[in-house]
Structure 1
Amino acid sequence: MEGTEMKPLFYDFKRSFLRPATVLSLVAFIVIGVGLSYIVTTSLSTSGRIYTEGFGKIDLSNGNFIFYFNAYDANLKPLNSNVAIYLGIMNTSANSFSADAFQTLKSWTFKATNGFYALNDTINESVLSQIMSSQSTTNAPSNMVPGIRIQVSSSLGVSGEIIGLAMKEGDRYAYIPPFGGFPIIDQSGNMIGVVEAYLNKDELMLTALLDLPGNGFTFRCAILNSTFIPQGAEALNNTIYLGEANSGLNVYKLNLSDMNISSSSISNVYLTVEGPDGKIYSSFSLPIERISTGRLQSEIESISTGSAGIALFSLFFPIVVLYIAYALIAKPKGMGALEFLLARPISRWDVYISRFTAGALTTLVSSAVFLLAFDASLMLITGYGISASHLAIIFLGILSSLLAFYSVCYMLSTVLGGSKYLSLSILLYLFFTMIYNIIIVILGTELYGIGMYLSNNFARLQYISYYFNPIGLVNFASYFIGRSLNTMQEISVVNPYLVVVSAILWIALPIVIGWLLFRKANLSR
């Protein structure tokens, strides 16, 4: 018996969900969801923060060139990026963005996977001679020196900078600022790398790009509360052993709370690399960059939940919803098909509730598919998705809004058939999406005038109006997410309990009224 009762429901669900109009609309909104994720990355590319480090070194004796690159996103997560580097001559007296600031001699492009990339190449004699000429005070102006220009593009932002170059010629060393990090050098001027320090709450992270002359090197640091730099034997006193140092990327992490060090009291770190022969390579007093993680996640969620793509789905999918009600009740009623259906051993209630449930399931599945497609593409492109709690709020907001409008349309379909239903349901759609909002704007202007005073009062009036608009319920979801992200001011008229009651009433009352009308309706043509 249970199986026979379920068959009409699945049959009606299949008929409503697999209709060409429903499928095509859903495909269109999935594409919109994927496109929206790219819109999010475009917004991030202008406001997103990425951290880059670079170290280049060239041996003028044989043209051997090495370059190490590393990048993090705003949460210090290794960042996949496309990188172009240009070896050339830079004009230290020109604006770094001007056309004559940099003369490119050789370039490379690569993809830094998981943030890091190591480049090793040999420079030809022509390029090498121009670099060497720029180092000669007799052959080149003093403001023309070798350098490296870096251009980075990623899904979370773009950046560009010009850094100096470490050089070796026999036993002679030179290093040219600016550096792609803070340099680590010995007393003879041999630069073996650069280092950066980041502090996230109580975790201190040190990242070093090193080109070491061999093995057996160790890394140590001293945490300072000033810019004072230890000298001589004092350089190794009171330092903390971090671990072995190797050529390439080295990452070290310290938990300051475990060391009974207050993160608020430190400002700098001093780093040393000790060779197996006891030779010391030292950094400058390195300022610590304080990181506030979570900002990137909040920014992505704020752009995503307040963007046009999600608004487009909740604004235009109601058109599909009103068509579903037309296909399930209004059209067969107008054709007399429901009367023929009731000639079978099936009650009006079974027809009414199974077809409503089928349309509601179609709405639920469509909303879920759209949001999952959007979140998956966002995760794939940026590495970050919408948090589960916020995704659930968006889903409930969209679903309640669509179900509320579907209930209203379904109620109309019980008493109107064919073209009459379509005319009135489309008019209702236009009223709730356009005309209703225009009325609220006019009412707000009449009540509060025009000016700054209007904005606060109008916001309250607008959110009051959402309680009485089935399609407007989704705006409460955006509000609650905005409040949790601290991107929206509190509006006193928004009450979570009233939002729930409003959604339930918008869904339940039309169902009840629709049933009272349907049970007595004349189902003949």
Structure 2
Amino acid sequence: MNPIIYDFKRSFFRLSVLIFLVVFAVLGIGIGYLVYNASIANLPRSSYYDLNFVGVTFNYNGTVIICGYVFDNQGNPLVATVELLSHTGKVISITQSNSSGFFVIQGSNASCIAVKYSTYQEKANISSSEAYKTISITPQQPFHIIYNITEFYNYKSNSGNILVIITGVKGCVGKLILVSIFKRGILNLTFYNERLKTIGSCTINYSSYITITKLKIKPGTQFISIEGGNAPAFGFRTMLEYYPIPYIEYAINQGVISTSSLFQLFFPIIMIYLAYVLYSKLIDGGAVEFIISRPLTRADFYLTRLTSGLLTGVVTSIIFSLIVGDTFSALVHYFPSFVVSMMIIELVSILSFYYILSFMLSNFIKSASATLGISIALFFIIRIVEGLLPIFLPTNVVNIVGYYVNPTSICSVAMYLSTHLTLAGAPFNLGISIAAQLAWLIGLSLLGYLKFRRMDL
């Protein structure tokens, strides 16, 4: 049997590794479920549909006229069936949205609108309520906005007068869907980064109740404020969070990411312990001299034990992440493949570094128990420093340390991508971050090997 596979089996199938893998998987799923339950568990099934509609209602002495737009989760138009219903559910009138997604429908004494597309059907009440604020222009002509949209938006703001939706963002370009009770007006959008610093702005001049246009989002946007109105009495300004990925995916990803918090906090200690068992104890106890007296060079022994431990970290990370991904797939019928991939990268980055760190220290510290203690102490010191840096240093310095100096810089990159899904506007250079991570891993491995070669066994 290949010595690497043999040592990998000895390390991965250790009772301590298997028990803690199961324990952290169960605890992680529990944490993830709490996040899921707080964010998206109670959403209606329609939150996952690929059907959305918006509209503006006009009431002329009991006759309701609705101008609307039907679209998918990317903001693209849909040809759908539109019905006006009475309070008893009777169909008053029926029409279809055109190839551009727009429709106009009218009927007397209507109280509800229903939109049907494929196997989906969604409704919205026409009568004014807290959800749909009514602005009376004249006693005979009350206007208000109606809508029913999924949770796949990137941004949503409803001031009562104006509804703004941004959806289908790819490469910082998305669809802006603007619904206004006024046929003409100006909408100003201002983009802010995570520090609430203005990074750009955009002005939309609209001349229709419903305006559909492309919008370029400034890279690094975390918040968007909108300001507009066609008269001082109806002016408004709101600022809300912008999601670089659809909100529902963001919520799911947050739940998935939260599952690894305990794993990242404690499983590196298991990897440090593996380095102690597979390597440190052998050096401290003098067993290495007997092992390499056989047809086995120091390089073979060093690389075999190093590689088998790293392989344990990789396999453990994959198993943990897939368990989490499958669990969330059962909950929301959606397998978060991208964030699961990023989680694997995060965990491999962390586990590999601390295993190699302990492996390297074993060659410089004679006592195996001292190596174990110092390695665990360094782990907690590094984690504490990582938590304190944002408190005492400006954001740009924290980014440099986190993405370039940090010995687990790829973990930081993967965490960023988990909630952004794009490198546009990222506060790091991917190539430098990868090089920094590899420099730590390869550098510590070589340092340990050079010391091992000269060690008097």
With the shorter chain as reference, the TM-score category is: 0.5 to 0.7
Contact 1:198 1:206 in 2 (8 A): no
Partner of 1:320: 270
Listed one character per residue, the Cα deviations across residues 114-163 of structure 1 (whole Å, up to 9, x for unaligned) are: xxxxxxxxxxxxxxxxxxxxxxxxxxxxxxxxxxxxxxxxxxxxxxxxxx
- Change in Cα spacing, 1:206 to 1:372, as seen in structure 2 (3 Å) is farther
Listed one character per residue, the Cα deviations across residues 461-512 of structure 1 (whole Å, up to 9, x for unaligned) are: 22222233324642221112333279xx9454x1111110011111100111
Q: Can you give the 5+ residue segments of structure 1 that lack an aligned partner in the other structure?
A: 51-70, 78-195, 211-216, 232-248, 255-267, 269-285, 445-456
Letter in 1 for 2:274: I
Partner of 2:78: 203
1:12 aligns with 2:7: yes
1:396 aligns with 2:345: yes
Listed as ranges, the matches of 1:100-499 within 5 Å are 199-200=71-72, 201-206=76-81, 221-223=95-97, 229=106, 252-253=117-118, 289-291=148-150, 293=152, 295-304=246-255, 306-307=257-258, 309-386=259-336, 388-416=337-365, 417-435=367-385, 437-438=387-388, 440-441=389-390, 443-444=392-393, 457=394, 459-466=395-402, 467-471=404-408, 473-484=410-421, 490=425, 492=427, 494-499=428-433
Q: TM-score, normalised by structure 1?
A: 0.52
Determine which structure has more spread, i.e. the larger CA radius of gyration: 1
Listed one character per residue, the Cα deviations across residues 214-243 of structure 1 (whole Å, up to 9, x for unaligned) are: xxx9x9634496765269xxxxxxxxxxxx
Partners in 1 of 2:405 and 2:105 — Cα distance? Answer: 66
Contact 1:198 1:289 in 2 (8 A): no
Question: Shift of residue 289 of structure 1?
Answer: 3.5
Letter in 1 for 2:12: F
Contact 2:342 2:414 in 1 (8 A): yes
SS of the residue 1:414 aligns to? coil
Contact 1:432 1:471 in 2 (8 A): no
Listed one character per residue, the Cα deviations across residues 435-463 of structure 1 (whole Å, up to 9, x for unaligned) are: 4543x35642xxxxxxxxxxxx2x32222
Contact 1:363 1:402 in 2 (8 A): yes
Contact 1:407 1:506 in 2 (8 A): no
Letter in 2 for 1:478: M
SS of the residue 1:221 aligns to? strand
SS of the residue 1:303 aligns to? helix
Contact 1:411 1:514 in 2 (8 A): yes
CA RMSD after TM alignment: 3.7
Listed one character per residue, the Cα deviations across residues 406-425 of structure 1 (whole Å, up to 9, x for unaligned) are: 21111112333421211211
Partner of 1:28: 23
- Change in Cα spacing, 1:49 to 1:464, as seen in structure 2 (3 Å) is same
Partners in 1 of 2:415 and 2:435 — Cα distance? Answer: 18
- Change in Cα spacing, 1:364 to 1:507, as seen in structure 2 (3 Å) is same
Letter in 1 for 2:17: T
Partners in 2 of 1:405 and 1:13 — Cα distance? Answer: 17
Aligned residues: percent identity? 25
- Change in Cα spacing, 1:322 to 1:226, as seen in structure 2 (3 Å) is closer
Listed one character per residue, the Cα deviations across residues 170-204 of structure 1 (whole Å, up to 9, x for unaligned) are: xxxxxxxxxxxxxxxxxxxxxxxxxx996322124
Q: TM-score, normalised by structure 2?
A: 0.59
